[in-house]
Structure formats: structure tokens, C-alpha cells
Structure 1
């Protein structure tokens, strides 16, 4: 079994898209996988309760049947930073509850568990805690999604540095196209490769879905990781 925490260099860089693509590739290799979105804001009201689009995508991509609450234990209506959304809802985001949910997912014995963060690496969840504290608690290898747009080199280098300072391993990184009009795109990706000393999983252009994106990713570096629940 293996687990990876998918983080981004910023918000809206394609974490969910890349998470789904990795899960799709594993499924094609006849491996089981589950998705986990511990905290999500910007949820919508449904007859079943609050639902988040990203979490629903992970639930749908999971090869093991999961209840929504197993995928996304903390869901908030306000489309703002989760700690602010929690305050607005009169709730607290509890790291222990996140850890308990994660451990229950591990008991599903899936070959792959993908945990998707929210925003960037230092996502505050309240009481001076960050989502990265959860990742550190379980020493989960990280997949870093770099949204290729203006400022991406600085954001990628700074994110990689702080992840390493936290004592965690970056299992691989993805250059994900998010700006169709990005000037000097090729040159920027080349610079990213020169500055990021870690496995490169691939460069994903603007494509329709995970099935198409899978052609641009090589998850071989991830297959070496194994963990014991």
C-alpha cells in the first residue's frame, strides 16, 4: 500500500485534476485506490448535505465504494480559507478527527490512498495549526503540483524548500498547464526542471480529462513507495 499527499504551489493549480489522473493510472494498472479530501470549503447544499466538487471527484475516482463523509470529513459552505469557513460555521477543524478519518481509510487496504490538500502547503486550519502538521504526523510522501503560470518558479522553489524543511520527501512533481496564454512556457518548465531536484512525473497540457492527461504522466517514481497501515 502507498499514500501520497497532493499539494500545490498555490490555489487553483490543478491538484484535483492531477490526483484523479494518478488514480486513473493506478486503476489501469489494476490497483485499488481511494481519495481523501480532509478539508474543503466552497461546498454547496444538497439534499444529502454539504458537498464539495473536488471531494466528489475523488469519491468518484475511488475504486472502493466510499461514503462522502469518509472522503471529506470537514465540509464548509463559505468559499474562503477553511479556517475562516470553519469560524463562520461555528466549528473547529480538529487534527485528531482528520487523523482518525485517515486511519479508517487505511483500513480499506487500498493499493493507493491519495490525500488532496487545499490551497498551498501552509494551509491554516485554526489554532496556529496547518494541514502540513497532519502530513508530518504520518510522514506522508508529497506530490507537488506546479501550476505553470507567471511566478511559478518562485512558488515551486519556496514550496519545495519548506516541504523539505518539514522533513518530508517529495515523491515527485508535475508541471500542470493552467494558463493557455503563458509566455515563454517552454522556458519556464525548463527552468523548473533545473531548480527542482526531485523526480519529474510529467508536464500536462490543457486536456479534457484524466484519461487524456494520463498519457503525459509517468508514475514510475511513485511505485517504489510502500507503507504499512
Structure 2
């Protein structure tokens, strides 16, 4: 089966939303799927309880029981770049540990979905300059790129695509997240696809996460590229 990364043009672009959405769609096909967030930062406190948004979303909406040690390797309290958040806790991120876990999960699941942190050049280990992009290259896995539809997305998306292409990383497709259907947004999407005619899916701006999970992407060109067999039987 296809294992891949979900990466974004920036932070808060919707990587966790897309990761969770794809996880649920694939689990409904009877596949054994795990999401994996190698590094997450920014502990959230509500009513005296602390949690991390990304992995909590996975666990809350997964149709299969997830194994805690399989969905995350490093969690840091400060909402900051991974390298700095780690420094604040007197730690550093061991990239080899992440790569070994990714290899193990590929062997253990039908589908592994790795979710990035921030954009491609977010530092993981400032001592040697290792970024998320370096980890992706070493993992030898393709990516799905999540981007916005609003003003500025053309530049951010094309720059990200150039960085991926220059390192010979296979881009499986693009998810345009949060579309409101305006003429400008439609032109932004078409312009990006003119430069990079890859499979894609468009996710509209929805009121809540429940609505989002009910939004199907199984008949999009992106899903057909990821899982042609599953797409053909739906």
C-alpha cells in the first residue's frame, strides 16, 4: 500500500485535518492505518487538563484503536519551532529515531500517514541544521501537500513545490483547504495547477470537524492517485 507524508506550506494550514480525514476514509475501506506525528509542540490546557491537538484529533476520530507510541515520538509543551521547543526542555530531536520508527510503522501497517510540523524548512535539530525536509528526503516517502486557497497561496505553494521537486520528492497531489468558493480562490487554484498539474482535492470551509469528516474525497483525482484500487470500488 501507499505510505506518505502530509506536509503544509505553513503552520495552521490544515495538515492535521487532512491527515485525520484521509485516515478515516482509508479505515472505512478496511485498511489498517496509523497516523504518525514525529514531533508536535504546543500543549493545550482546558479545564485543568493538558493535551496535544494533533494526536488527540487522531485518537478522537480514528475508527480503529491507535497505539500511543505509534502516533508520536516527541511532544514539547511550548508552541514553537520543534528545535527551540526541545531546547527549552533540555532535549534534542534524534532524527535517526524518527527514521527508524517510520520504517517500523511501514512494516506494521497497510498505510502510514506521517504528518509534518509547520513548513518544510522547520528545524528539527539546530546543531546540524536538520530540517523536516531532510527527514522527508531520508524517509524516501512521497508527500501530499496541504495549502490554503486565500491571498498569498500561489507564492507559498509554488515555493514549496519547487523545494520538493528540487530534492526529487514525489508529490502525490495537493489539497486545497478551506475554500469559500470565491472567484479569486478559484483562480488561485487553477493558477497553481497550471504550474504543477498534479492530482488534487478541494476541501470547502466547513463549520465544524464533524462536517469535515463527512466530506468525501474518495472520488477526487488525489484519492485516485493515492489508492487506485479503493477508488475504483467506491
Both structures adopt the same fold (TM-score exceeding 0.5):
yes
Say which structure, 1 or 2, has more relative contact order (CA 8 Å, 6+ apart): 1
Residue 158 of structure 2 aligns to a residue whose secondary structure is helix
Alignment partner, residue 57 of structure 2: 57
Give the drift of 1:187.
1.8
- Written as runs of structure 1 = structure 2, the 5 A alignment for 1:3-14 is 3-14=3-14
Give the drift of 1:182.
6.8
- Where does structure 2 lack aligned partners over 5 or more consecutive residues? 230-234
Give the drift of 1:12.
0.8
Alignment partner, residue 84 of structure 2: 84
- Structure-2-length-normalised TM-score: 0.85
Alignment partner, residue 161 of structure 2: 160
- Where does structure 1 lack aligned partners over 5 or more consecutive residues? none
Q: Distance in 1 between matches of 2:82 and 2:164?
A: 21
> Does the 8 A contact of 2:27 with 2:64 survive in 1?
no
Residue 37 of structure 1 aligns to a residue whose secondary structure is strand
Aligned-residue CA RMSD (Å): 2.4
Residues 29/70 of structure 1: CA separation in 2 closer, same or farther (3 Å cut)? closer
> Does the 8 A contact of 1:34 with 1:61 survive in 2?
no
Give the drift of 1:134.
1.7
Residues 67/216 of structure 1: CA separation in 2 closer, same or farther (3 Å cut)? closer
Alignment partner, residue 149 of structure 2: 148
Q: Deviations over 1:37-78 (max 9, x none)?
A: 0000002479xx974111222244555533323211100000
Once the two structures are overlaid, the 10-residue window that deviates more, 90-99 or 54-63, is 54-63
Q: Deviations over 1:78-137 (max 9, x none)?
A: 0011111001011000101111222332232x2211100010111211220011222111
In the alignment of these two chains, the number of paired residues is 220
Give the drift of 1:167.
1.4
Give the drift of 1:27.
1.8
Q: Distance in 2 between matches of 1:38 and 1:60?
A: 18
Alignment partner, residue 40 of structure 2: 40
